Structure 1
Amino acid sequence: MKKMIQMFTGKWAVFIVTALACTAGAFIFLESKPAKGGLHNDTAPQLSGMPVTVQTVFYSAYPARITALGEVNPLWQSTIKARVDGPIVYLNPKLQSGTRVKKGEVLVKIEETAYQAQVSEDKKRVALAEVDLLKEEREAKEAQKNWERSGLKGSPASDLVLRKPQLNSARTGLNAAQKALALSKIRLSYTKICAPFDGVIVERHVSPGESLITGDKVLTLYGMDTVEVAIHVSAEQLALLGLNLSKGNREKAPLLSGPDKSVAARLVSTQQNAFWQAQVVRDGQRLDSGSRLQTLYLQVAQPMAQTPPLLPGTFVRAEITGRKVADLLCLPETALTKQGVVWFVDGANRLEPVQAKPIFYGNGVVYIHTGEKNSQKSLRIAVLPNASFAAGLLVQPRQKERG
């Protein structure tokens, strides 16, 4: 009897659980059924084609711009060396790295006693040579008079009679003594080491109490009136700028006679978030043996007076703008694939690949030439092409938002 009750109770428990489950399922089904005319209405239009972000571009003329990287260097930089031997007797307090000095300012003095003595000795030799020359000139005059009084016809058999060789020797001796004196004075002047131009001391190589010999380094000096950047460009880039530097046209090349004011240039430092106006002043007039590129030189005057100062050693991006190039399209760099293809979207919203030629680049944009006529006023290009693109593929164009 007890077993029958347990079996009966178990069946009722299963029945109750099953009933509750069915009720819950029916409730969920009724709640999830869409209302008539809702989002899942079978009559709603179905979207077709791959969503693609597009941008409208126009054929136009754009100023050519080339960019290249370079390092800022002073126009004048010099490692000054000793020209005479001797102990150091004076060091200018300014002889420290980072100090500005003026042209002609004395920075180091070398013991000059021996060089002053040499100057005095050479002065004495000049004086003696002058006396010898005066004597020979007097003797030559006497010899000429004696020859005339002798009544002999013609010229003497030897120049020694009229003392011409002795006179020439005296003159040569005086000339040699004078040049020796000039040289000793120059060597004396070398005992004072001066700044050859206005600049900043970059490195000092001497200390008090040292002795110098000819050729020893004393200091390294950078001129700060002008800095220069050398960049390497191709012949095509030069042509874009309108600078024809071929051998047959160098007389007309503006770079050879000074800055070309028709070409705008600036130097940009991404680290400092700053830029400086520059001038293209000349070309290297040769090709680099490794890269086969030509060198252009850009200069900035008074770099320390700029805001911020343009310091030597700064790595910059040179941006040079030249003449306008017609029939170009300006589009984002992302629109140009690695294979050089741009995907256009035609009037039927289908993709059309075009092999494009990059002419030059800008800030995040590329200027291309498609080789086609600009009969259409505007074109739509896919901003972000991907590997699934195919010619004739139907797409959903979505205009790129500005900004």
Structure 2
Amino acid sequence: MNDAPSKPTSIKLKVLQFLATAIVCLTILGVSVATIVVINQTEPKAQQIEATRKSAAIVETVTVEKGTYAPTLVVLGTVQAAQEITLSPRVNGQVVSMSPKFVPGGMVKTGDFLLQIDPADFENTISMRESELQQAVALLDIERGRQSLAKKELALLEGTIDEANRALVLREPQYESIQAEVNAAKAAIERARLDLKRTSIAAPFDAQILERSVNVGSQVSPSEDLARLVGVDEYWIMASVPVRSLKWIQFPEHDGRSSLVTLRDPDTWPSGVERYASVARMIGSLDQQTRLARVLIVVADPLAMKSDVPPLILDTLIETHIEGRPIENVVRLKREFVHNRDTVWVMKDDKLEIRETSVVFRDAKYAYIDEGLESGDEVVTTTLATVATGIGLKKMDASPEPQSEESQE
């Protein structure tokens, strides 16, 4: 009976505890919400700033001018002899002497003595032919005496000899036969003297000895080679040129003027050394292997005997820079400044402008432009990372402008 009143009291306590816990939780929640609201209302607000940076790519430019320019064709050429012979004797015999100049690399002038073939046999032949001539002349004198007697006899028989037998009586056939023997003897002497003269062999023109195939004591005949000689007055250079480039070369047979040629051999000659030549003519056929046209270039004094320049060496490859016909009213621009599809970067009003151009001709260094550029245009020569029409540009030599920022809230 004593436990009955204690049960309601326990329930009240639990209710009170629950209410107290709920009040505490609500109080904490309310304080947290109030704190968040206060923080949100009292924190500083960020201000949005829109900034625009004024900058431009720094570039170098070149100002172009329209004018008349001559392109240069750079091709390889082969050095050849303009005059070359293989020297052979015209008589048989033994070589008895030679000139000290008659050696490979030796230089000789026209008429210089080269070698001597033994003349003894030819001198004996002349003596024999002279004896034969003397004998024929003696027979001719005898025949003249016989003719004189025949004329006297004919005078006694005048009127009894017909005209057909008159020549026989006067021994005219015998006289003509002996006269022919005299003439043949004289011709034999001239031939013997000519053979004797041919035993001494001289240079046929100013030449350099490239090869020699005999020595003193060699037995030679007209079928054998004595030496190989090349003329030193001029050399030829055979240059291979693309067919499409022929129209830019001046040939003398067309208008009397020929393109000048500059020769360079950087592998052999000192730095900066050049030689000069001229275009002579076009060879009327293509090279069968390269399908290129061949142009003949003439070089005077190739061995530099009259000047202080390097000599040319036969059969070598050499750079030939052929000056082409002048091209009028064009801009000449270095090839590296012409970009894809023949476009050129132009700086106009401090902005990039991409120009399409018409290239008339390209040589090894320049492009020749007849449309798309005008005198005074500034072509950008600096490589740009970003290429687009309208981007800002600034010359490298211009004074730098301070960068600025414009802000808006």
TM-score by length of 1: 0.67
Aligned 1:182-331 pairs, distance under 5 A? 182-232=190-240, 239-243=247-251, 245=253, 253-254=255-256, 260=257, 264-271=260-267, 272=269, 273=271, 274-280=273-279, 282-283=280-281, 286-288=284-286, 290=288, 291=291, 293=293, 295-301=295-301, 303-313=304-314, 314-321=316-323, 324-331=326-333
* Aligned 8 A contact 1:279 1:300 in 2: no
Displacement of 1:188? 2.0
- Unpaired segments ≥5 residues, structure 2: 1-48, 398-409
After TM superposition, the structure 1 stretch with the greater mean CA deviation from structure 2, 323-332 or 142-151, is 142-151
Deviations 1:195-240 (A, max 9, x none): 3334333222123433223232222233334334343557875654
Displacement of 1:61? 0.8
User: Is the alpha carbon distance of 1:244 and 1:221 closer, same or farther for their aligned partners in structure 2, counting shifts above 3 Å?
Assistant: closer
Aligned 1:89-100 pairs, distance under 5 A? 89-100=96-107
User: Is the alpha carbon distance of 1:130 and 1:384 closer, same or farther for their aligned partners in structure 2, counting shifts above 3 Å?
Assistant: farther
- The amino acid that maps onto 1:182 is E
Deviations 1:83-138 (A, max 9, x none): 32233322334433233334433332222222222222222222223333444445
Displacement of 1:62? 1.3
User: Is the alpha carbon distance of 1:127 and 1:231 closer, same or farther for their aligned partners in structure 2, counting shifts above 3 Å?
Assistant: farther
Aligned 1:292-371 pairs, distance under 5 A? 293=293, 295-301=295-301, 303-313=304-314, 314-321=316-323, 324-336=326-338, 341-345=342-346, 347=348, 349-358=352-361, 361=363, 365-370=365-370
Displacement of 1:42? 6.2
User: Is the alpha carbon distance of 1:144 and 1:267 closer, same or farther for their aligned partners in structure 2, counting shifts above 3 Å?
Assistant: farther
Displacement of 1:336? 4.5
- Unpaired segments ≥5 residues, structure 1: 1-40, 255-259
- The amino acid that maps onto 2:77 is G
Cα distance in structure 1, aligned partners of 2:296 and 2:145: 67
SS of equivalent residue, structure 2 residue 193: helix
Cα distance in structure 1, aligned partners of 2:89 and 2:83: 19
- The amino acid that maps onto 1:366 is Y
Deviations 1:312-358 (A, max 9, x none): 32543333446532112211122446x87243547462323334231
Deviations 1:162-213 (A, max 9, x none): 4343333333333332222222222222322333334333222123433223
- The amino acid that maps onto 1:297 is I
* Aligned 8 A contact 2:236 2:296 in 1: no
Cα distance in structure 1, aligned partners of 2:341 and 2:215: 61
User: Is the alpha carbon distance of 1:333 and 1:322 closer, same or farther for their aligned partners in structure 2, counting shifts above 3 Å?
Assistant: closer
- The amino acid that maps onto 1:307 is D
Cα distance in structure 1, aligned partners of 2:147 and 2:283: 61
* Aligned 8 A contact 2:283 2:296 in 1: no
Cα distance in structure 2, aligned partners of 1:304 and 1:140: 68
* Aligned 8 A contact 2:251 2:282 in 1: no
Displacement of 1:310? 1.8
Pairing 1:87–2:94 present: yes
After TM superposition, the structure 1 stretch with the greater mean CA deviation from structure 2, 140-149 or 205-214, is 140-149
Pairing 1:180–2:188 present: yes
* Aligned 8 A contact 1:69 1:231 in 2: yes
TM-score by length of 2: 0.66
Partner residue in 2 for 1:36:
none
- The amino acid that maps onto 2:333 is L
